[in-house]
Structure 1
Amino acid sequence: MTNSVEAAIDFLTNRKFGLVASIVNGLGSLPNNERNVLSEQKAKIEEFKATLRNMDKNELLTLHKRSLAIEAEQALQRTLQEERDRFYNQPAANADYVHWSKAAHWTVDEAVALSFGKDPDFVTWKKIEPLKEKSAFAKAFSKRRDLALRATRWKKFHDLIPPVTFVSWAKEIKIDLPQELICEVEKIGGLCINWHEQYQKLKAEIAANKITSKPESTRKSENLLQALTSVAVDAYGYDPQSAKSTAPQDIADALAKRGKKVDPKTIRTWLKEGNELLPQNR
């Protein structure tokens, strides 16, 4: 109990007198004018401590407990205010989803910033990294960035990520994204598709419908045409009945980005052949 009482007295004294309470014992080394001022403060401190010692112990400990709670609440409010004042919580840090959804690609850091609803030009990893041990937001940013970097190593996507691919990956591993970002990306890039899952489905369908009587090269060509058509329908909105479908041009553009030039008319012919090969009662 004695230790608790002394701890309470020390805490309450320091809370009332601040730094002065810890230096009044070193008066001998100070100039006379400062020593006189501190001597007066020391007398007040000793008087305050005497008052505390004369209090009922339970009353003193209750006061100590209440003061601790007040100080903890004040510290919390200071922390919250500091967080509210940080650059990434200012209006200028909010992302322009319409603009970024139209970008051909995002970098990893841009994608992570957008996943939090932040403008990648304003909220950068260079600014966030020094805060990762001080801020809950910065810590969450760091962890999500780590997941994205690991995904690049496993070829989930590359350093330059199509927006629709990043959104698909985030959904796959249950990362919450701003709904407005998802909507804007899907307006531009189509529905988010799990390409690995689509590949496995196509592979299973092809294996189930394998026609052994045909030469291997013919089967492979027909399977690839069917796969291309299926992907064109799912990812590029290809309509086999429409002569004006933009899907062939979109696919040609995607190939061109990777250094392969193919005439959209050729791709339209492939899609037509693939559609004829697919089961018609699908």
Structure 2
Amino acid sequence: MSGEEKKIFYIIERTFPRFSKEIRDALDGAMSENKGHPDTSDLIVKETWQRIKWPLESDGQEWGSPKNPPSKAMLEQLRQVIEEGQSLEEALWRKSADDLHAAYHEIKSRDLTAENIRRSQRAAELDLNRFFNEPEATADFAKWASLATWTVAEAAALSFGKCPNIVNLESLSAIGSRSLFVGAFKQRLQQLSRALEAGDIKSPNRPQQFFNWFVANEIEIPQRMNDVIQQNSKRLINYRSLYEQSCARASELEQRVLKLEASTTGNDADVFDRKKTSYRIVLGLAIAVFGYRTDQRNKAAAEIEDALRYIGEPVDVKVGTIRDFLKDAANALEFNWLVPEDSLWADKRVPRRR
């Protein structure tokens, strides 16, 4: 069969399925045995009927059976099919090669699209029962949003509302490429990796930076993820404001300390002792901004750690180191501080840890 014949019969089968290969083959046999008779003569139609490989269906219903003589209505129905089918075939043969190819390509593309839709629907149905759609695979956004940074793989999983500990490349590798979710996950992972390489997402990969990238690229993310990140964003803005206020206060205190040192008489080495100066500045800020007390242990050191962690390297210091430094500063300066209830700094605290 030539290429043109294949295209013509493909078009016939897709546009006029009643003129099936079984009927065409039976008709060709009848015509060979009864040369000179018109294609739709009673003899040819009856002979074609006898040669058809049964059962033959049309629109989901069987036409009949060779065991029983065909009725006049059945033969007339077969005659109409032959006439319409041959008319279509003749029209296709009259087309130019380019027009025939265009008609074939249009129908083929339509069939492929329909097939792809069916496959996608089937893949989506299979995904519904896979582990990544189980309740335990749902992300706890409050937990993940509290972390200082995310990896690219974690951000990819969270953007689909999935827990990165359960849904990741390793756990998805056993499913294969036919899963729509697996394909989407790998694509999202690739997008994020390239955005990181291009500098669109800045190190150290904070949750807010991933969130901003999702929004900028109009990528749909779970509403819960949006809500939690937005809440944390407001909290971080408050910390930045406190940090800026602390810097301003530190500068003011430093100037006051320098003036006091300049006006103090005594040993020059003691007046300009840089270590004691740093003790004064840090201890003063701890008291003024974070409510530090020398008479009892409170959450000031932990809150200072939170603020420094938000700022990041190189000022990130652990709470134990902060607590020891403040204690050393108080001892070196022989200084005790209790916060009165009506203290000027009573309302200048950063938010407490929960």
TM-score of the aligned structures, taking structure 2 as reference length: 0.40
TM-score of the aligned structures, taking structure 1 as reference length: 0.47
Compare the two structures and name the one with the higher helix fraction.
1
